């Protein structure tokens, strides 16, 4: 009997562990318990709502059913959620409708038994997250689909889990915004930060100050009805929208339309076509500046029912202020020693303007000074590149009593690998922050600045890396196994397509353009080992690309975490650990030979596809080194010094704004 009981317990535990390893949940839940068994899905699958009348939940259940029948191909008898049908296969029990703020209860409990599925949540937002988790558990045999039996207790680690999309540099149409909102909801992000105004454009239709969108948008802006539609769409996903109008710097667009509130008298301002930090700045000493801002906020604030309004406040170098005697005189008269003090004076003027609309002011970390109101939310973006430790500026804001959000380490436009983002935690344990200080850290926000992205490419820059950031913000800090995360990310990446995300399909669109509509197989292979240049080095000085320059080039087709590169680099590590590993050796040789063949194909393609000439020399460098390395692995004639020179050529970043992501593997083979 004891032996039987021991065997039963071991079998149950092993089954639970095996089931957990098969689950591809992201973000990973707080608590999960597996049981032996499964819930089979058939045409009688039905959802019953035991909840207050919630448009949000009704829409979510309808979308869930469409996604589920789309994946399974099953014709459900009930295509929509039911009310007062307690015998339905899925029971959703909700107590209240959530307000879209940081105080909402987002927890849920999901129980999958062989005969019924139950989702319990205090709010409809929690229930929606439960549905997302349920859909991620879907599995199949060779002839059927099922949900594994399990129990999940889940709630987020951080309250603020955001994504910022910059629609000022390159305008992003409503359909781009909506599909990314859908993807955000799928990984349980809850804040959409909409960057609407910068040097390159004003993107909001104005009724009272029409010159703003007529003179400063190139005709690309959101109507107020479109903004309301997006806000409602986001709200139905449980996502709060935070708008940003960047002031007092980054003001070229505003001053193009209303130059009289600029800091340089009688200057004719114009929209900026380059990337970077520019001089145009609002005049904080001019009463009309606040009159205009008041007028803008009176019209814009009602479009966004959320509690927070982002005023930017970053990267004001104060050059126009320094050059204006009137402004310098004002500083002296008001005991404002520095431009930072003057900006604080300006920002403090905005707080009551926003307060009358029940908004809290949020700004990038430059707004924080000793005199800044503690009601302001500090958005931390500076880090090691600015001489600070990771998370240090965030910690400083929290220590000074401000609620704060982290974006340093989550800048997607730096096109860094997913490891970097996943390993960035809003709370740096090395800083030894007390539990009281940690309470001021609201969470984090992925950011995609749009100097080098368009509607065609933005999805590939946001996804799938933002799914990893979403897990870092939702899951416990102990959930940090990179290998496991990458395994789970594969199906998440694929399933984003059903939500309309174009990160996979648009690569082919760009490659077909580059190939002049010839066969793109060789281009695809080469792109799978190349990545865009990182850390803004693609756009040197912010002037190589203007806002109207083509972003349909090879670098735009390539993505971080090049798929074939990681596999090759890992193979070399495996081989170097054991040179007797003939399987790894054979695979490496096959890969090197494939790059030689790819180069030959690219040479042929280039005869009728001029764009290829931009990166053909890089392919040639790899072709030459590959032949040398094959000789080495096959014990043929090999010139070590020549191979080192060829390796340096392969490290070049001078071709088409890309770099080879297989350099670690190539280095490993040479050494």
Residue 470 half-sphere exposure, CB side, CA atoms within 13 Å?
Answer: 26
Residue in the block written with tokens 């402004």: 327
Question: How many whole angstroms separate alpha carbon 665 and alpha carbon 584?
Answer: 12
Instruction: Residue 312: count other Cβ atoms within 10 Å of its Cβ.
Output: 24
Residues 6+ apart with CB under 8 A from 451: 169, 170, 275, 413, 539, 542, 545, 547
CA–CA–CA angle 610, 613, 617 (5° rounding): 170
Annotated active-site residue in 106, 260, 299, 315: 315
- In three-state secondary structure terms, 356 is coil
Q: Which residues share a beta bridge with 531?
A: 659
Asked if 315 is an active-site residue, the reply is: yes
Name the percent of the chain in helix, strand, coil, to the closest 5.
45, 15, 40
Region for 540 from its dihedrals, namely left if φ exceeds 0, alpha if ψ lies in -120 to 50, beta otherwise: beta
Question: How many whole angstroms separate alpha carbon 569 and alpha carbon 572?
Answer: 5
Please check whether residue 392 is in contact with residue 386, taking contact to mean a CB–CB distance below 8 angstroms: no
In whole angstroms, how far apart are CA 436 and each of 170, 406, 441, 497, 631?
40, 17, 10, 41, 62
Of 654, 653, 655, 565, the closest CA to residue 612 belongs to: 655
- In three-state secondary structure terms, 206 is coil
Of 294, 289, 300, the closest CA to residue 255 belongs to: 289
Kindly state the tokens that stand for 429.
């344990």
DSSP assigned state of 98: P
Instruction: Residue 151: count other Cβ atoms within 10 Å of its Cβ.
Output: 16
DSSP output for 470-525: HHHHHS-TT---HHHHHHHHHHHHHHGGGGT--TTHHHHHHHHHHTTTS--HHHHH
Active site residues: 315
């Amino acid at each position: 009997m004891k032996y039987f009981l021991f065997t039963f317990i071991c079998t149950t535990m092993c089954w639970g562990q095996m089931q957990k390893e098969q689950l591809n949940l992201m973000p990973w839940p707080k608590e999960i318990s597996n049981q032996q068994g499964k819930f089979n899905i058939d045409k009688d699958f039905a959802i019953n709502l035991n909840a207050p009348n919630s448009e949000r939940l009704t829409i979510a259940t309808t979308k869930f059913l469409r996604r589920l029948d789309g994946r399974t191909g099953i014709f459900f008898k009930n295509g929509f959620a039911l009310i007062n049908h307690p015998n339905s296969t899925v029971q959703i029990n909700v107590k209240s409708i959530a307000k879209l703020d940081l105080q909402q209860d987002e927890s849920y409990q999901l129980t999958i038994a062989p005969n019924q599925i139950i989702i319990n949540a205090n709010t409809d937002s929690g229930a929606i997250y439960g549905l997302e988790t349920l859909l991620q558990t879907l599995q199949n045999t060779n002839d059927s689909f099922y949900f594994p039996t399990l129990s999940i207790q889940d709630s987020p680690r951080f309250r603020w889990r955001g994504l910022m999309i910059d629609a000022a540099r390159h305008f992003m149409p409503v359909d781009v915004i909506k599909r990314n909102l859908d993807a955000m909801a799928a990984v349980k992000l809850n804040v959409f930060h909409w960057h609407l105004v910068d040097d390159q454009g004003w993107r909001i239709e104005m009724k009272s100050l029409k010159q703003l969108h007529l003179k400063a948008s190139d005709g690309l802006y959101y109507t107020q009805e479109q903004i309301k539609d997006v806000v409602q769409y986001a709200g139905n996903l449980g996502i709060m929208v935070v708008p940003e109008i960047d002031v007092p710097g980054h003001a070229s667009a505003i001053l193009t339309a209303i130059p009289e509130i600029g800091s340089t008298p009688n200057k004719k301002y114009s929209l900026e076509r380059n990337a970077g930090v520019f001089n145009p700045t609002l005049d904080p000493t001019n009463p009309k500046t606040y009159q205009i801002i008041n007028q803008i906020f009176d019209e814009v604030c009602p479009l966004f029912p959320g509690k927070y309004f982002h005023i930017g406040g970053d990267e004001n170098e104060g050059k126009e202020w320094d050059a204006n005697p009137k402004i310098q005189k004002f500083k002296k008269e008001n005991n404002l020693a520095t431009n930072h003090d003057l900006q604080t004076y300006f920002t403090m003027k905005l707080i009551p303007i926003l307060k009358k609309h029940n908004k809290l002011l949020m700004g990038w970390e430059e707004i924080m000074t000793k005199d800044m109101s503690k009601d302001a939310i500090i958005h931390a973006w500076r880090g090691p590149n600015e001489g600070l430790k990771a998370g240090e500026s965030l910690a400083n804001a929290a220590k000074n009593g401000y609620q704060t959000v982290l974006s340093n380490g989550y800048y997607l436009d730096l096109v860094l690998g997913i490891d970097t983002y996943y390993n960035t935690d809003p709370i740096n344990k090395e800083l030894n922050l007390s539990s009281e200080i940690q309470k001021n850290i609201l969470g984090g926000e992925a950011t995609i600045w749009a100097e080098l992205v368009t509607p065609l490419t933005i999805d590939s820059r946001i996804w799938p890396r933002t799914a990893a950031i979403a897990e870092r913000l939702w899951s416990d800090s102990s959930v940090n196994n990179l290998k496991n995360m990458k395994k789970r990310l594969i199906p998440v990446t694929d399933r984003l397509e059903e939500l309309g995300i174009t990160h996979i399909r648009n690569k082919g669109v760009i490659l077909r353009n580059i190939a002049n509509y010839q066969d793109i197989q060789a281009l695809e292979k080469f792109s799978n080992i190349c990545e865009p240049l990182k850390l803004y080095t693609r756009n040197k000085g912010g002037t190589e690309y203007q806002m109207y320059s083509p972003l349909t080039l090879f670098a735009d087709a390539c993505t971080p975490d090049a798929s074939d590169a990681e596999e090759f680099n890992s193979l070399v590590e495996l081989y170097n650990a054991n040179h007797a590993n003939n399987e790894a050796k054979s695979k490496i040789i096959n890969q090197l030979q494939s790059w030689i063949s790819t180069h030959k194909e690219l040479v042929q393609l280039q005869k009728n596809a001029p764009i290829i000439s931009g990166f053909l020399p890089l392919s040639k460098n790899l072709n030459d080194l590959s032949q040398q390395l094959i000789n080495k692995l096959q014990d043929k004639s090999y010139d070590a010094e020549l191979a080192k020179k060829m390796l340096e050529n392969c490290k070049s970043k001078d071709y088409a704004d890309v770099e080879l992501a297989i350099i670690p593997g190539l280095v490993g083979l040479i050494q």
